[in-house]
Structure 1
Amino acid sequence: MESRKIQKVGAATLTISLPKDWVTQRNLKKGDQVFLVEEGDTLRIMPGPAMEERKRQWEQYLIDADMCDDPGLLERIIVGNYVLGRQKLIVKSATRLRSEHIEEVRRTSKKLMGLGIIEETASKITLQCSLDPANYPLDALIKRLFNLGATMLDEALEAVVTGDRRLAEDAIKREDDADMMYWLILRLVLSAQIDEALVEQLGMRSRLEIPGYRVIARDLEKVADHAEEIARAVLTLLNTKVDISPSFAKQLKELADAVTEAYGKALGGLLSRDIKQANEAIHQQEAIMKREQDLARLMLKEYDDPRIIIPFRTVINGIVKMSEYAHSIAVIAFNRYLEKPSNLCRPAPP
């Protein structure tokens, strides 16, 4: 590590000198352009050609389809490249693309927002992402992902109360939409790590918020996964043709509603920087754990058939796991509130 003193040039301009060895290694000379990348409290200097090369590398990537022998491998590679923010993907074979690879590419492109096929030959498919990050503020996407999970849970539990299996089936279908939102959010936050200009465009106050958004998106996507599992368990339950006690179904629905309220408050506390809402979410989550135990005892009291108990247990466990993510989001809301001084918490005077 080298230190440099800040020098004053003219009336107001502050400058520092660049290390000679660093300049020589990069073949820089007077008049060359360099880029300054702000990363939290640090400032990174990148030479112009290096920045351009970095951008070029992220523009276009070649995927060798012949090396994708295992089922699902090509799909995961496409999703991974999409999440990493790459603009153009070329899926290519040395001979002819196999039909299963073509189908995999088409299926995957439909799951990723903004990604489409722009060129196709017998041996090559070119995919391009047309997203403009400025049109996708992160808070709006997070709300969308939250609403998908909440809707899925509500539909699944309403299916228990009404016996309408179509509601549970609708909930399962929404899982693909939740995955699409999750991958889009990941793409945007990872792109913001590379391009400082995106931080403000996406509605973030600083790069410090990037890790939090990644965790929140993962938690909300897991909530949708649990909602899908609950919906599938409900279908299994309805297939048994068992008469579900109205009182038990009501308590189950009330528990699900309490979870939705808890992680709705956690998310509200996060987006509005309201730590009281976040604190309420934590207290509600703790109360949900006790209600779950009471509901489990009631289930064992009313039913003794394993064909009924197992799917009911899956539903209850899924609801409780969803409440744990509310706690996680509420903690992030506290951390975000404390990132900047406030009347509640500020630097102590000397």
Structure 2
Amino acid sequence: MKGSDLRIRRKAQQLGSSTLAVSVPAEWAQYHDLTKGDELIVQRDENGNSLLVTPDQPAVEDVETTINADAMSTDALSRAVITQYVLGRGLIRIEAAEALDPQNYDAVLEAERRLMGLGIVEETTNHITVRCSVDPDDFDLPTLLGRLGRTEATIRSSAVSALLDGDADAARRARNRGSQLEKLFSLFLRLVFTTYRNPRLNQAVGIGTGFPLIGYRSAAQDVSLMAGIADDIATIATERVTEPLDDPVADDVRSVHDALDTAAEKVRKAVIDPDYELVTDARTSLQRVEDHSTAAIDRLEKERPEPLLALNRVHFLLERSARHAGDTLDVATHLAFRESPDVVRQDST
């Protein structure tokens, strides 16, 4: 459908004594090959204020998107491929007016390396076509969110261990693990956008319609941000901490990290299994992170061990990570209220 047709006014028509009917746009009906008698699925949003109408069997096309390589730098071309992947495109064609240069080809290979299920299916001197073989039925968002969280926890634990030991090589290995999380996160976003366009996939990806899809997107973003913070800690361990930390200092870092690790896992479980008791337990665990962090920072200010600035930075980063976990807990809280009518009841006024 054309962009100008995205918002169309329709009048409700009376059918019988108690039924109202609204026509659908002709182009939309033609696109989905709808005829008289075909079934449509009508879904309402969380508050019952809006209705979403989809065909029972929506049209599924292996949509091809074309990217003009002549108009982009190497980095921009790689990002463009990744963006089209995230938006759910099945085929992505990269073309040049004359011939693709080696940098263009390298950019496509870089995007292929960073994305799951993407591969080159056709190649000539002036174009490359890549296809994504990921099917929404192959994954579900709760499982992917768990994998994202465990990957972030592994990166963070490895970075903190390298910091405690003053092991720059281990810190570099921790940083290298970030590429796997990027793959999972891009795949997660692809499933979110694909499901948003075709709500019938909600059951396939393992969540309900409306807010859960938005909430899962937010939770995954928080995990990605936490992974970025873990990478910053690994960078500090690589560049600024060259010797093992003294025991009291190491114990403080370890206590904050362990509390964060426990809290982050409980927060993810509360999102995946919305339950008010799990939310309350996760909130208590996050409070423990804050308590350990406050005690550790107070000790740094009193004893001022070296490298002081690096250690302050590490504790600041762990606090930031805990705040992102707190943002995810807000999502879990909303989901728990949504799933627990005995906790919150809505009455019309």
Same fold (TM over 0.5): yes
CA contact (8 A) 2:92 2:129 kept: yes
Three-state SS of the structure 2 residue aligned to 1:311 is helix
What CA deviation, in whole Å up to 9, does each residue of 1:77-110 have, x standing for no partner?
A: 1111011000000000111111111101001111
CA contact (8 A) 2:43 2:53 kept: no
Letter in 1 for 2:131: Q
1:61 corresponds in structure 2 to 65
2:329 corresponds in structure 1 to 330
CA contact (8 A) 1:33 1:47 kept: no
1:232 corresponds in structure 2 to 235
Query: Aligned partners of 2:266 and 2:255: how far apart in 1?
Result: 16
Letter in 2 for 1:342: P
Matched, 1:281 2:285: no
1:11 corresponds in structure 2 to none
Shift of 1:311: 2.2
CA contact (8 A) 2:257 2:318 kept: yes
Within 5 Å, which residues of 2 pair with 1:64-213? 64-68=68-72, 70-213=73-216
What CA deviation, in whole Å up to 9, does each residue of 1:156-198 have, x standing for no partner?
A: 1212333333332221111111111111111001100111221
Cα distance change of structure 1 residues 233 and 23 upon mapping to structure 2, 3 Å threshold: closer
For the aligned residues, what is the CA RMSD? 3.0
Unpaired runs of 5+ in structure 2? 1-9
Letter in 1 for 2:110: R
Shift of 1:61: 0.6
Query: Aligned partners of 2:235 and 2:34: how far apart in 1?
Result: 66
2:245 corresponds in structure 1 to 244
Three-state SS of the structure 1 residue aligned to 2:338 is coil
Deviates more, 1:309-318 or 1:291-300: 291-300
Three-state SS of the structure 1 residue aligned to 2:239 is helix
Query: Aligned partners of 2:75 and 2:348: how far apart in 1?
Result: 59
2:308 corresponds in structure 1 to 309
Cα distance change of structure 1 residues 2 and 298 upon mapping to structure 2, 3 Å threshold: same
Q: TM-score, normalised by structure 1?
A: 0.85
Query: Aligned partners of 1:209 and 1:6: how far apart in 2?
Result: 34
Query: Aligned partners of 1:36 and 1:334: how far apart in 2?
Result: 33
Query: Aligned partners of 2:27 and 2:191: how far apart in 1?
Result: 35
Query: Aligned partners of 1:321 and 1:345: how far apart in 2?
Result: 31
Deviates more, 1:221-230 or 1:275-284: 275-284
Query: Aligned partners of 1:30 and 1:129: how far apart in 2?
Result: 28
Cα distance change of structure 1 residues 191 and 39 upon mapping to structure 2, 3 Å threshold: farther
Letter in 1 for 2:274: R
Cα distance change of structure 1 residues 81 and 231 upon mapping to structure 2, 3 Å threshold: same
Letter in 2 for 1:79: I
Shift of 1:141: 0.6
**Aligned-residue identity in percent:** 22
Three-state SS of the structure 2 residue aligned to 1:238 is coil
1:221 paired residue among 219, 224, 229: 224
Q: TM-score, normalised by structure 2?
A: 0.85
Three-state SS of the structure 2 residue aligned to 1:89 is strand
Query: Aligned partners of 1:116 and 1:227: how far apart in 2?
Result: 30
Shift of 1:15: 7.0
Cα distance change of structure 1 residues 191 and 25 upon mapping to structure 2, 3 Å threshold: closer
Deviates more, 1:117-126 or 1:280-289: 280-289
